A = this chain, B = another copy of it.
Amino acid sequence: MSEPVGPLDSLRYPRFAGPRTFARLPLLETVERADVAVMGAPFDGGTSFRPGARFGPAAVREASLLLRPYSEPLDLLPFARAQVADAGDAGPDPLEIGAAHATIQARAAELHDSGARVLGLGGDHSVALPLMRAAAARHGPLSLLQLDAHADTWDEYFGHKLSHGTVMRRAVEEGVLDPHASVQIGLRGPLYAASDLEDNAALGFRTLLARELDATGVAGAVGLALERLRSPVYVSVDVDVLDPAFAPGTGTPEPGGLTSRELLAILRGLAPAGLELAGADVVEVSPPYDPTGNTALAAAAAAYDLIGLMVLGQRPRHGST
């Protein structure tokens, strides 16, 4: 089997030049098949406060220009071990959430059917629903690691069942994810009622609040995650899990969040367990609120580590390591 096509060589072709694919990787259509497909889900019609995440995939790709091929923490050349490609964007209807989700789900399903694991770039958090549906349709009910300031398990919003704040409840109801094999890390901020967390727990989720991280440390968070997760895993990173200092460009920012060092350490902490990642997403990057580009930068770094985890968790198909 042929060697994976990797990113452009930045020592010969400068980073600021060339197409804005994720990490300067080839477009999927030019490599035929991929082990990991990065797919944009540029939809923000499910957002309750600040919109803008429809420009998230483009911003994350722009920020990903700085990514290089070797992951030191994972001791891995993800783009050499597997074929990683940019599958472009689904083209969701911006005016109707149901239709938008259908387009995203169809595109993700197509990618899963081709044998790829799908890393979705949001978009608001509502896009995690079609992404998880497609992953579960291929891999079975998912064990979820959700890194997020909010549980996203409200029942409805303005009478609607679909929004960025209800997505995880929908996924549980549909059997797409197994809450008992799921963990939420980073929750914080004022809630509507004490019952918000109780209802969330009643659904089956296990939760580590951002403020609890002061006591547990990253190691505690990783420990909790590994205690609950089982393959196939889906990791959903809502960038608002980060403190606004690290990720101002998001729809519903909450002070008191994680540092980017903590977020990356948690993701990398999963590596030794060899879990199989069926899919993942990085969502809620809203470029118009991100004047420094820090949010997209942190999202790109998280996406890179998620790709690493996907590659580590797959059964090897390429001979090289």
Q: Which residues of B contact A66 (CB under 8 A)?
A: 49, 189, 252-254
Residues from 1 to 54 in A contacting B, C-beta threshold 8 Å: 10-21, 27, 40, 42, 44-52, 54
**How many of chain A's residues have a CB under 8 angstroms from any CB in B?**
102
Oligomer copy total: 6
Q: What CA separation (Å) do A252 and B148 show in the bound complex?
A: 27
Q: Is the CB of B253 within 8 A of A260?
A: no
Contact A72 to B209, CB < 8 A, known contacts A253-B66, A304-B190 = yes
One digit per residue, 1 when the CB lies within 8 angstroms of any chain B CB and 0 when it does not, for chain A 71-94 equals 111010100000000001111111
Residues from 156 to 179 in A contacting B, C-beta threshold 8 Å: 156-160, 162-163
Which chain B residue has the least Cβ–Cβ distance from A246?
A: B245
Q: Is the CB of A12 within 8 A of B158?
A: yes
Closest CB pairs A-B (n = 7):
A288-B288, A248-B292, A51-B51, A13-B91, A68-B190, A17-B89, A255-B260
Could you tell me which A residues sit within 8 Å of B by CB distance?
Answer: 10-21, 27, 40, 42, 44-52, 54-55, 57-58, 62, 65-73, 75, 77, 88-97, 99, 154, 156-160, 162-163, 188-194, 196-197, 209-211, 214, 218, 243-246, 248-249, 252-257, 259-261, 264-265, 268, 288-294, 297-298, 301, 304
